[in-house]
Structure 1
Amino acid sequence: MPDAVDPSDEGIMEPLRFPDPGVESLQASVRRLMAESQQQARLLDSLSSRPEDTTFAYDGFAPGPPSPRGSRPEPRFILTLDGTAFEAELDALSDWVTDFLLPTYGAEVSTAAPWCLQWTEHLDVVGWLHGLWLAYQQHIDPEAGPSGPAVWHRDFLTHTMAAVRAPGGPLSACMTSPDRPSHRILPSPHGSADAVPGSVSSKAAA
C-alpha cells in the first residue's frame, strides 16, 4: 500500500514510493538498456563518419589509400616517343633488362643465340624488349590474377627472346661469343641506320 500523501504540504506532491523490490530491478534493467542503446548509437556514428577503405592486402602488400582511376599515366610504346621522353624510357628499360631480364632469362651467348652489349643502339631490339617489359608490368599486377606471370612466360617472353636472339635475327651480326664482343647494326632497305628517321640516334636528338 503506498504511503499517504499530505495535500496540505505546500502543494508539492511527493513521488510515489513502491516498496516492491521488483520495481528497483525493473528500473536497473531500463537504465542498462538505455546505456547500451547510447553506446550503439555512438558506434554507428563513428562508423558512418569513417572514410571507406576499399583497398585490400594482396600477396603481402599492405593496404594503402585507394588511388583514383587514371591517376597514373598510361604507358606509351617507346618507339612513339622522342627526345627526353624517349631517353628516359630507354634508361628505365635498360635497368629492367640489365637487372632482371638478362640475369634471369639471358641464355649463354652462342651462334644460335647471339647478343649485343650495345643492344640499345638496335631500334628494333629496343621495340621488342620494351613491348616485353610493358607486358611484364601488366601481368605481374595483382589484377592479372595468379596466372598472370605464367601467361607472360607463355605468350610474351619465349617468343620475344626467340625473335631477338635468333641466328638470323637483328643481332646476328653482333656478339656470338663472350670472348669476342662485337656490335654491328645491319643496314635496312633504306640504307644505314643513322639515315633512318626512326633510328635510336635520331630519336635521341629529336
Structure 2
Amino acid sequence: MTEDIKDLQAQVRSLAAQLKRLSTTPAEPTEATPGEAAEGEEPAEDGWQFPPFILLLDQPDYDEELRALAEWVEGVLVPGYLGEPSADTRWCHLWTEHPVAIARLHALWLAWQELTDPATCGYSGPSTWHRDHYDPCVRELREPGGPFAGCTKGEHQVAHRQPSLVPRAWSLAIGQESALPH
C-alpha cells in the first residue's frame, strides 16, 4: 500500500512538472519537433516519439544509440552494479555482439533515464528502477540460459543463441517468400 501511494505521489509530481513546462513554453511554436505534429496537423503515423527503441533504428542512428548505450553500460552499469562474473552470474565483455543483450540493456537504460530524474518521477524513481527494471533485466541476462550462456572469461559465443531457421511467420510478415517447406 505504501509503495502504491509513493508511486501515485511520483506520478502527481511528474504531471505537475509537465504542466509547469507546458505552461511556460511559448503558445505558438515556430516549428514542430521530430515526432510531433505542428499545430492543427495530425501527427504522422511514422513519426518517432523519442527516444525510440534501439532495435527499431536504422543506420547511422542505430550506431549512435549503441555508442551512447555503451557509454552508460561501461561507465555506470558495469563498474557500479555488476560484480565479477562467474559461472552463476555471467557477463560478456563483448555484450554488443549479443542482440538480446542490446535490446534488454537499452530498455533498462531508457527506464534509468526516466526514473532517475526527480523532476519527472520524484525521489522514489531509483527504487522503482531497481525493483521493476534492473533486477529482472540482470537476472535474465546473467542466468545460465541467458544470452551469455556460452560465454566465459576466455571464450565468447554468439551463435549459440541464434535460431537455425527463421520462423515462417516472420518471413511472411515482411513480405518475403518463405524458403521453408509448408
Instruction: Using structure 2 for the length normalisation, give the TM-score.
Output: 0.62
| Alignment-derived partner of residue 182 in structure 1 | 155
Is 1:156–2:127 an aligned residue pair? no
Q: Distance in 2 between matches of 1:131 and 1:187?
A: 20
Query: Which residue identity is paired with 1:190?
Result: S
**Equivalent of 1:76 in 49, 52, 76:** 52
Q: Distance in 1 between matches of 2:130 and 2:74?
A: 18
Once the two structures are superposed, what CA deviation does each residue of 1:27-85 show, in whole Å capped at 9, x if it has no partner?
xxxxxxxxxxxxxxxxxxxxxxxxxxxx9xxxxxxxxxx66798586110000011111
Q: Secondary structure at the match of 1:171?
A: coil
What are the ranges of 5 or more consecutive residues in structure 2 without an aligned counterpart? 1-16, 18-23, 35-48, 172-182
| Alignment-derived partner of residue 128 in structure 1 | 104
Is 1:140–2:113 an aligned residue pair? no
Highest Rg: 1 or 2?
1
Query: Which residue identity is paired with 1:174?
Result: C
Q: Which runs of 4+ in 1 moved over 4 A?
A: 66-73
Structure number with greater CO (CA < 8 Å, separation at least 6) is 2
Q: Cα distance 1:139–1:67, how it changes in 2: closer, same or farther (>3 A)?
A: farther
Indicate the RMSD between aligned Cα atoms, in angstroms: 2.7
Sequence identity of aligned pairs in percent? Answer: 38
Once the two structures are superposed, what CA deviation does each residue of 1:107-150 show, in whole Å capped at 9, x if it has no partner?
22100011111100100000000000000011012211111111
Q: Cα distance 1:107–1:188, how it changes in 2: closer, same or farther (>3 A)?
A: same
- What's the offset of the Cα at 1:181? 2.8
Q: Cα distance 1:149–1:67, how it changes in 2: closer, same or farther (>3 A)?
A: farther
Alignment length, in residue pairs? 126
Instruction: Using structure 1 for the length normalisation, give the TM-score.
Output: 0.55
| Alignment-derived partner of residue 147 in structure 2 | 170
| Alignment-derived partner of residue 60 in structure 1 | none
What are the ranges of 5 or more consecutive residues in structure 1 without an aligned counterpart? 1-54, 56-65, 198-206
